[in-house]
Structure 1
């Protein structure tokens, strides 16, 4: 036991001696180099670029897909049976109202007209003699020179001839109309499509298959489907806008280019499609050069109203958390990053329209967001949009120029 106690005492003495030795070395080192005093590490300041949030007047629009439709359309069908003798138009050309398109063989209809006119002339020829006989019998009846039956027969014959004349007049008129129907004319002006029949084809009156179709393309309709929820919201915005000229509609072509002329909002349908829950909004668009053709896919920008105090912020200054909720970082009065949860309305160009979450006058951080967390110290500088949009090729060219100098 005594031996173990002695060994423990020896180790304790050695440990105390080593401690004093190290302390003395550290004091000697501090005396020789007093600048090696331990200093607290300074906090890192992150450089960021900011934009000052401000309100501005913004015209609110809704962009919806749609299809073009002809302003007027007429399907050409024959009104009499017959043989097509000639087609008198060029497919795809513009035609005017009243222009002859097809000629049906008029021979049988001309013959029917001639026959009706001859019968009418014969009836008119019998009219004079029949009328004189009836008048003569009426005079003789007063003197009892003829029987009452003879007079009644003469009067009835006169009435029959007059009725025949009226019937043949109607027949002549009908034959003349049918003869005119052999010249099939354009009911409206517009562009005519391809012909479904050729010369020598037999056609029937009011057949299901049209001979051709004429479409008026200037102006042209743009039909846009919109959900009833969005329609009610748009109507509410337009009612509170207090602005005129809200019926203006801008058209974007299929490739995204803007159509040179604006349209006018005409009406919204009163029937909701039960399968889609949407209604059709129709706009009238000028089309003097026929750039818009029926059935084309376009996008229509419909004006909702004007927000006098809208807040727009760059999209690059908005991030999203793990749940997809948008947020932004701003510089507070202590030059530290602060968190702001946002409620976004819509995208307008390269900016977000903010409903709530940020106030005018705050400095929104748009650059230097990588690894930046709320509470970190920042050094803010104004955001330069032009320098941020500089292409890599331009930047490398500037570096080469500086190197050459």
Structure 2
């Protein structure tokens, strides 16, 4: 009996040992802490007070130009379709396609011989009528003398005076015909009415042209200066100092990348009516185009300076973040903690953001390292060299970083 009891106890001890062998590791594994991920460790460290390395930039007070942006269509300052004003054969073409010409340069010559003959004929007719007039005037003087001695009647005197007036009218008519014929002869030499660049020749030498056909010999476009017509929202223009009629607002023409500057000019005109279908209004600008970067028919981006905000608050554009509730920045506080600050952004240009409200001059905003920040996080500022000021922005004062 004792042996049986001892054997049962031994079996129980063995069973408990086996259970402990198999089950204790499982339970111990469930009770051991699971290692955290690196990001969770960093967040936990930040919450526990570990500083987050960041870079900051000072809030500046600057004179900031206010811009309106829009797309413009380049147009030639003047465009002329050169056409013949007389009938005749083209005897000479005196220009090369794509050539720059000046006002008055000879472009083509039409056969002048028929018109020269007409001019000579009108000159001969005037000489004939002038001779008749001279003879009639002499006869009139004789008749006037004879009537004093009663050797002529009043009727003869009146007839002679009327004949002199008739010949005078014929001479005047001849002179008008001569002027007309001379002008027609001058039209045989086709000259450039404006300075500019000629395009593709439409008529070749040897062709017979007629004034009634209105055939174009070549088109001249004036490229220096050149015009650009911008189309902007009428509501946006109405909020600026621009008025209907003639204005003088600076404008820059930009390339397709909206950053490369093609030329600088001025807005000469704000149109006098709004397009009701689109709610837009047209603005016409003039550019010197000395480098010939603007070509008629091209599209350019326009940046129009409509005002200058004096002593405006600006920050690095990279410091402005966008959230579901609007724009905000992280402000580096004097106690080396980060604070969440909502801001109202006016415009962004040249790497700078105009802030209407939210921050003040002299404060510092986080430009790098903001992804790991929470409101109240401790920070460690990396004092790197300040970035150069954006081109075209005049800084009136600045604060040390």
> 2:151 matched to which residue of 1?
145
Is residue 51 from structure 1 mapped to residue 52 from structure 2 by the alignment?
no
> Contact 2:209–2:215 at 8 Å: present in 1 too?
no
1:362-373 paired onto structure 2 within 5 Å? 362-370=363-371, 372-373=373-374
User: What is the alpha-carbon distance in structure 2 between the residues aligned to residue 213 and residue 160 of structure 1?
Assistant: 48
Matches within 5 A, 1:42-191: 43-45=47-49, 47-62=52-67, 63-191=69-197
Number of aligned positions between the proteins: 337
SS of residue matched to 1:79: coil
Secondary structure of the structure 2 residue equivalent to 1:370: helix
Matches within 5 A, 1:292-371: 292-322=294-324, 325-332=326-333, 336-370=337-371
Q: Which moved more, 1:288-297 or 1:187-196?
A: 288-297
Change (3 A) 1:291 1:322: closer
1:192, distance to aligned residue in structure 2 (A)? 1.4
Contact between 1:80 and 1:178, CA under 8 Å: does it hold in 2?
A: yes
Measured in 2, the distance between the counterparts of 1:306 and 1:210 equals: 48
Distance 2:298 2:360 in 1: 43
Residue 370 of structure 2 aligns to a residue whose secondary structure is coil
Does 1:210 find its partner at 2:216? yes
Gaps of 5+ in 1: 1-40, 237-245, 388-405
3-state DSSP class of the match of 1:310? strand
Cα–Cα, structure 1 residues 353 and 255, in superposed 2: closer, same or farther, change >3 Å? closer
| Equivalent in the alignment of 2:24 | none
Any conservation in 1 of the 2:57–2:386 contact (CA below 8 Å)? Answer: no
Alpha-carbon distance in 2 for matches of 1:51, 1:214: 57
Verify the 8 A CA contact 2:56 2:368 in the aligned structure 1.
Answer: no
1:343–1:119 Cα change, 3 Å:
same
Counterpart residue number, 1:290: 292
Question: CA–CA distance in 2 between the matches of 1:145 and 1:316?
Answer: 114
Deviations 1:52-107 (A, max 9, x none): 54222143242433233333333322222333222111111011221111212222
Per the alignment, do residues 230 and 206 of structure 1 end up closer, same or farther by CA in structure 2, a change over 3 Å counting?
A: farther
TM-score by length of 1: 0.72
Asked if structure 1 preserves the Cα contact closer than 8 Å seen for 2:273 and 2:281, the reply is yes
Structure number with higher strand proportion: 2
Q: Write out per-residue CA displacement over residues 162-198 of structure 1, whole angstroms, 9 at most, x where no aligned residue.
A: 2111111111111111111111111222211122222
Q: CA deviation at 1:340?
A: 1.8
Alignment partner, residue 205 of structure 2: 199
- How does the TM-score come out when normalised to structure 2? 0.72
Q: Secondary structure at the match of 1:98?
A: coil
- Mean Cα displacement is larger for which, 116-125 or 151-160? 151-160
Report the CA distance between 1:210 and its aligned residue: 3.1
Match of 2:233 in 1: 227
Taking only aligned residues, the RMSD between alpha carbons, in angstroms, comes to: 3.2
Distance 1:49 1:161, change over 3 A: same
Structure 1 CA distance for aligned equivalents of residues 191 and 260 of structure 2: 38
Q: 2 CA distance for matches of 1:333 and 1:44? A: 20
Give the drift of 1:322. Answer: 3.1
Q: Whole-Å Cα distance in 2 between the matches of residues 385 and 297 of structure 1?
A: 40
Distance 1:278 1:125 in 2: 70
State the distance in 1 between where 2:180 and 2:115 align: 10
Question: Kindly tell me: are residues 267 and 144 of structure 1, through their superposed partners in 2, closer, same or farther at Cα, counting changes over 3 Å?
Answer: same
CA distance 1:208–1:384, shift in 2 (3 Å):
farther
Moved more, 172-181 or 46-55: 46-55
**Distance (Å, rounded) in 2 between the aligned partners of 1:380 and 1:328:** 17
Question: Could you tell me how far 1:300 is from its partner in structure 2?
Answer: 3.1
Q: Is the 8 A contact 1:98 1:185 kept in 2?
A: yes
Task: Encode CA deviations 1:307-339: one digit per residue, 9 max, x unaligned.
Answer: 34333333443333335x222333456655433
Change (3 A) 1:160 1:316: closer
